[in-house]
Amino acid sequence: MQEDFIVIGNLLGVLTMMPILDSIPNFYNLDVAVSTRASETTLSNIKALLDKLEDALASIGTDKLLTAPDNPSNLDVALSTRASETTLNDIKTQTDKLQFDANKRLKVQLDSIPNPSNLNVALSTRASESKLESVRALLDEIEDALASVGTDKLRASLVDALPAGTNKIGSVDVDNFPTEYSLPSAQVSDLKNVNVQREGSITHINVTLSAAGSQTVYTPSTGKKAKVIGFFLKCDSDVDWELRFAGGNIIAGLPVKGAVAMNGVAMEMPTGDADETIEVYADGACTIKGWINVVEV
């Protein structure tokens, strides 16, 4: 019985203390033992470390710590504009599909290998690199042979070697050339070997003289001689005028108003000395126009 009274007394004591505990702010937040929290010794050790940190910071200056951090030049765009984790994962999903062999070469598997219509024969039937190289070597030998005989001899040899009945150059039958075009056989023989080329360069002339005198109309390249192989000139006044070399040798001229022309391709035409210029001369006021065709030799 006595023990029962003690229990009841203790219970009544606790019930009596409940209003007092409720008045202590946040009393029920003491849900763990105080011994599990940091001790004075631990806090002292932390303070000692903070003191050292304070000394270290003092050595570099607190103004640097208070300054806002720099924005390096490489941080020139907002981070939100860069690839997100989702985007990178999507890319990785695709790259994970790639397969490589032991030599790290990419494996490619096609649904079907197309065979274009132009690939109508096996590649092995086409010329190999070695075959093309042998052909190139032969062409080099032919080039050397042609250089040694000259193109004029080669042309004659080709014409002479044409078999009877097939003597055609282009659409012209060499054997029937005189009959078809009514030319003397001697001329036909010459035509077989003729090599016609255009020569010279045209220089246009437009010279106005207010009184008697001359004006240079052509200057050859350094060390070259000028050879006039054709010309057309006209003068608008009745004066004595001429086309001549600077040294005085006359190429052409007229004593009156008029025009003069010549094609001297098949002739041996006047040739000046090295570096000698060509000029027009008149013994009075006039305008001379036209052109000259000059070969430098």
Which residue would you say has higher pLDDT here, 252 or 194? 252
Query: Is residue 280 in a domain?
Result: yes
Query: Strand 106-107 and strand 99-100: pairing?
Result: antiparallel
Q: Quick one: how far is CA 137 from the chain centroid?
A: 32
Per-residue pLDDT tens over the stretch 3-36? 554 545 555 455 555 555 566 666 666 677 777 8
The model carries a pTM of: 0.37
pLDDT, residue 56, reads 77
Last residue of a domain, one of 140, 169, 193: 193
pLDDT, residue 5, reads 46
User: Average pLDDT in the 78-89 region?
Assistant: 86
**Per the structure, how many domains does the chain have?**
2
Query: Is residue 264 in a domain?
Result: yes
User: Average pLDDT in the 48-74 region?
Assistant: 71
Query: Among 292, 234, 284, which residue's Cα sits nearest to residue 264?
Result: 292
DSSP codes of every residue in 217-242? EE-PPTT--EEEEEEEEEESSSS-EE
Q: Which CATH number does the domain housing residue 212 bear?
A: 2.60.120
Query: Is residue 53 in a domain?
Result: no
Last residue of a domain, one of 159, 193, 227: 193
pLDDT, residue 274, reads 94
Last residue of a domain, one of 136, 170, 193: 193
Residues 172, 230: one domain? no
Query: Is residue 279 in a domain?
Result: yes
Domain assignment of residue 156, given as a range: 149-193
Query: Is residue 24 in a domain?
Result: no
Query: Is residue 263 in a domain?
Result: yes
Look over the chain and give the mean of its residue pLDDT values, rounded to a whole number. 77
pLDDT, residue 178, reads 47
Residues 208, 184: one domain? no
Residues 206, 290: one domain? yes
Per-residue pLDDT tens over the stretch 230-272? 889 999 999 999 999 999 898 888 788 888 888 876 778 889 9
Residues 220, 262: one domain? yes
Residues 168, 189: one domain? yes
Report residue 148's pLDDT band, with 50, 70 and 90 as the boundaries. low
Query: Among 277, 270, 280, 278, which residue's Cα sits nearest to residue 237?
Result: 280
